[in-house]
Structure 1
Amino acid sequence: MGQPPARDLSQPSPEVRAPGAKPRAAHRAKSKKTKMAHGGAKTMGEAAQVKDVVSSILKANSVAISKHNPGYLAKLGDRVMPKATVVTCSSPGGQLGMSGGDADLFVISNMGNQLATSEGSVEYGVRHLHTPLLMFVSHTGCGAIKAAAGDYSNMEPSIQKELDSIEIPKGIDATNGALININNQVEGAILKFSGEVEAGKLAVLGGYYDYNNDLKQGRGRLVITNINGETDPARIRELSSSGRYFHYGFMGR
């Protein structure tokens, strides 16, 4: 699956601490005023940032509307049946480049593109929207993978709970950790939806947005790394080229 990055992506950046002793009493009042001034500046900066983000979102919405006719937008409002349930990482890196049309994908985002933490949403897509494809998508430098591979005991309990269900070795690099996690999600989904799988009604795939070109298939490419439990690159290419996305190991070659 390609060589892992030379640097250890699973370790957090070193913490920076300001040196120096406590301020003397004579300087405390001044220090407090300085902190208040800095706090006000920070608040103003955050307000400006939020304003910019909201403006960008609304602008992007206007651009999207201008590209489609009223009939297309009405189709979205009627909630047509999507063609795939896609579980992505909450980070933008896990969603960029996803295509197929707004109405074609039932997209679910969470930390580490997991089945366990969005099980109800995934089940709704598979069993109520009847999507024939369930896909788990990870990406380069996933923060959830880095956290799960390290010590996250100082994080909030709710975050710890979500990271606990990412079963990867401690200290593993982010790329290999993401690939293992993808395989785990595919395997769990095959077991959960075994009825749909055995009936040939559901294909379960895994993909990886490779922004660093670690898998040597092109920077930024969405690489299919798992087809129904098959992880051998040569077999994946064979199955993809022949369109055999519903092929499972128990079906034979």
Structure 2
Amino acid sequence: MPDLAPASPADAYAALLEGNARFVHGERLHPNQDADRRSAVVPRQRPFAVLFGCSDSRLAAEIIFDRGLGDLFVVRTAGHVAGPEVLGSIEYGVHVLEAPLVVVLGHDLCGAVTAASEADRDGVAPAGYIGDVVERVMPSILWARAAGCTDIDQFVQAHIRRTVDGLVGRSALLATEVAAGRCAIVGLSYRLADGTVSVVSSKGSLPEGV
């Protein structure tokens, strides 16, 4: 079976947008979800994008981008917070599996961002390891407030932007791949009500306006 996966950052990004448009309009093709595809990817995976998203149950990557087996290398945490394991997983997807695109996927009404905003306002952090998630989101809240942001959706966009910046800033490997044009990183915000995505920020070689 020939490998027809998008090979450039721009082509990978276009494929995701096309899939999202099909999902939004109820015209999904369900590509690469049959027995032939299952067999074809047994010896090797070659995903065309690393999807680093929030763990929210309404944000299932293969569904909202209308993709299938072997297409996306998915990493998800609450509030898309990135610890060493996450960075290593994303680096693996880019450096070893040669995915030309990394997507940071956040969404409106994000619970982790809301919790961090409330903790900042009230001065009380959630108990347990939920508090650790909130602590990792908190710098984005503080940065957004300093920039004049006041509502949750503005905080969400600020957190997506800072996550994109943080991937390049913290990972020398990702920074090198982006600088060489082999990979691009784009931050997208997903709207729960209508299923659309919009660009928040990007790094690397992508179409003008992204």
TM-score by length of 1: 0.57
Identify the residue that residue 104 of structure 1 maps to in structure 2: 71
Counting only pairs closer than 5 Å after superposition, residues 160-199 of structure 1 correspond to structure 2 as 160-166=131-137, 167-169=139-141, 172-191=150-169, 192=171, 193-199=174-180
Number of the residue aligned with 1:215: none
User: What amino acid maps onto 1:169 in structure 2?
Assistant: I
2:160 partner SS: helix
Residue 203 (structure 1) aligned with residue 170 (structure 2):
no
In structure 2, what is the Cα distance between the partners aligned to 1:190 and 1:222?
22
- Of structures 1 and 2, the larger Rg is shown by 1
Distance 1:226 1:93 in 2: 22
Which residue pairs with 2:40 in the alignment? Answer: 75
CA distance in 1, matches of 2:207, 2:47: 26
Larger relative CO (CA 8 A, sep 6+): 1 or 2?
A: 2
d(CA) in 1 for partners of 2:46 and 2:105? 21
Query: Which stretch shows the higher mean deviation, 192-201 or 117-126?
Result: 117-126
Residue 113 (structure 1) aligns with: 80
Q: Distance in 1 between matches of 2:53 and 2:199?
A: 14
Shift of 1:120: 2.1
Q: Which amino acid aligns with 2:184?
A: A
Aligned residues: 163
Q: Which residue of 1 aligns with 2:117?
A: 149
Q: Partners of 2:209 and 2:103 in 1: how far apart?
A: 16
- Contact 2:186-2:203 within 8 A present in 1 as well: yes
Counterpart code for 1:196? E
Structure 1 segments, 4+ long, off by >3 Å, are: 236-240
Q: Which residue identity lines up with residue 138 of structure 1 in the other structure?
A: G
- CA deviation vs aligned residue, 1:34-68 (integer Å, no higher than 9, x gap): xxxxxxxxxxxxxxxxxxxxxxxxxxxxxx8xx62
User: Are positions 1:123 and 2:60 aligned together?
Assistant: no
CA contact 2:37–2:69 (8 Å) conserved in 1: no
- Deviation string 1:169-218 (CA, Å, 9 cap, x unpaired) is 36742211110011001111122221111111110101011235xxxxxx
Give 3-state SS (helix, strand or coil) of 2:67's partner.
coil
Question: For residues 46-85 of structure 1, what are the structure 2 equivalents within 5 Å?
Answer: 68=34, 70-85=35-50
Q: 1:153 to 1:200 in 2, by over 3 A?
A: same
What's the C-alpha RMSD, in Å, of the aligned pairs?
2.6
SS at match of 1:94: coil
Contact conserved, 1:149 with 1:168, CA < 8 A, in 2?
no
Unaligned runs of 5+ in 2: 1-29
2:107 corresponds, among 139, 154, 157, to: 139
Deviations 1:215-252 (A, max 9, x none): xxxx32111221218xxxxxx98435xxxxxxxxxxxx
SS at match of 2:129: helix
Identity of counterpart residues, as a percentage?
Answer: 25
Question: Tell me, which stretches of 5 or more residues in structure 1 are unaligned?
Answer: 1-63, 213-218, 230-235, 241-253
* CA contact 2:38–2:69 (8 Å) conserved in 1: no
